[in-house]
Structure 1
Amino acid sequence: MATAKIVYASMTGNNEEIAQIMEEQFENLGVEVDTTEASQADASDFEDVDICVVATYTDGEGEIPDEAQDFYDDLQEEDLTGKIYGTCGSGDRFYGDHFCATVDDFDHTFAQTGATKGAESVKIDLAAEAEDIENLDTFVKELVAKANANG
């Protein structure tokens, strides 16, 4: 059975909700999943699972949220070769070019760890609506399919 770890950073609660949506979908697919808020997570936790997911918001002018900064820095030191990863997050289109910039930052960092991208990133404007939930379900299914093919 595949295992997954979701790490999220949430100021408004939107990404916590996104993490819960994904957690439920992973469980529906028979994946054992652990979800942790970023300030409580350790990047090395990803060494013990098949699927690594980060759900984050973007702070200010495209910055990593304070509570996720240490996690982000530590992730850059990890070797996650053989792991499947995905990134997603909530943002506000009001910020234009900075919309969900941190989702892309985590995507690039995961790629540098040797992990394999399992699905295209999902970027959500504010709270997850019905279409966003469908996109998250697809995202999770693709991650699980990639992990199963990998395993």
Structure 2
Amino acid sequence: MNKLVLIYASLTGNTEEMSELITSGIEEAGGSATVKMADECSADILLDYDGIILGTYTWGDGELPDEFLDFYDDLENLDLTGKKAAVFGSGDTVYEQFAKAVDLLQEKLAERGAEIVSEPLKLELNPSGDEREACRAFGKSFASGTVGV
């Protein structure tokens, strides 16, 4: 079974809740994932995994949050060729660039050679109703594609 990691940053708990639902979906598909917060690990950890899921909120008008800045900078030195990846996050449509930090992470992963296997999952604030199932489905789909379940 392939090794999966989910790394996220959350300020208000919205992205944390998304990560829990995505992890639940991974488990429903028969997989498991190591879950870490972005400010508690280095990007080098990605080299130990076959599948990478990153989750973030967007700070201000489209910036990565402080918790992801060092991690993002460290990605510059990594070759992620052969890794499968996906990105998710929460945002607020009051800002001009909705959940732009999600796009920044996805672009960096692709630039470093990772294969982006799904469209990014972006939600307005916290997941509710059908969005909760969308998070679980995101995790199931990722696990199925990387684990072979």
TM-score exceeds 0.5:
yes
Considering fraction of residues, name the structure with more helix. Answer: 1
Would you say 1:113 and 2:106 are equivalent positions? Answer: no
Tell me the residue number matched to 2:32.
Answer: 32
Conservation of the 8 A alpha-carbon contact between 1:86 and 1:118: yes
Gaps of at least 5 residues in structure 1 are none
Tell me the residue number matched to 1:147.
Answer: 146
Secondary structure of the corresponding residue to residue 6 of structure 2:
strand
Size of the alignment, in residue pairs? Answer: 148
The residue identity in structure 2 corresponding to 1:39 is D
Secondary structure of the corresponding residue to residue 77 of structure 1:
coil
Secondary structure of the corresponding residue to residue 86 of structure 1:
strand
Conservation of the 8 A alpha-carbon contact between 1:18 and 1:89: yes
Displacement after TM superposition at 1:147 (Å): 1.6
Conservation of the 8 A alpha-carbon contact between 1:120 and 1:139: no
Tell me the residue number matched to 2:88.
Answer: 88
Could you list the structure 1 runs, at least 4 aligned residues long, displaced by more than 6 angstroms after superposition: none
Distance (Å, rounded) in 2 between the aligned partners of 1:61 and 1:117: 24
Tell me the residue number matched to 2:79.
Answer: 79
The structure showing larger relative contact order (alpha-carbon pairs under 8 Å, at least 6 residues apart) is 2
The residue identity in structure 2 corresponding to 1:135 is A
Secondary structure of the corresponding residue to residue 94 of structure 1:
coil
TM-score, normalised by the number of residues in structure 2: 0.93
Tell me the residue number matched to 1:5.
Answer: 5
Gaps of at least 5 residues in structure 2 are none
Displacement after TM superposition at 1:65 (Å): 0.5
Residues 20-51 of structure 1: CA deviation (Å, up to 9, x unaligned): 11112112222121111110021111111121
Distance (Å, rounded) in 2 between the aligned partners of 1:102 and 1:81: 22
Tell me the residue number matched to 2:102.
Answer: 103
Displacement after TM superposition at 1:118 (Å): 1.3
Instruction: Give the superposed CA RMSD.
Output: 1.3
Secondary structure of the corresponding residue to residue 17 of structure 2:
helix
Percent sequence identity is 35
The residue identity in structure 2 corresponding to 1:4 is L
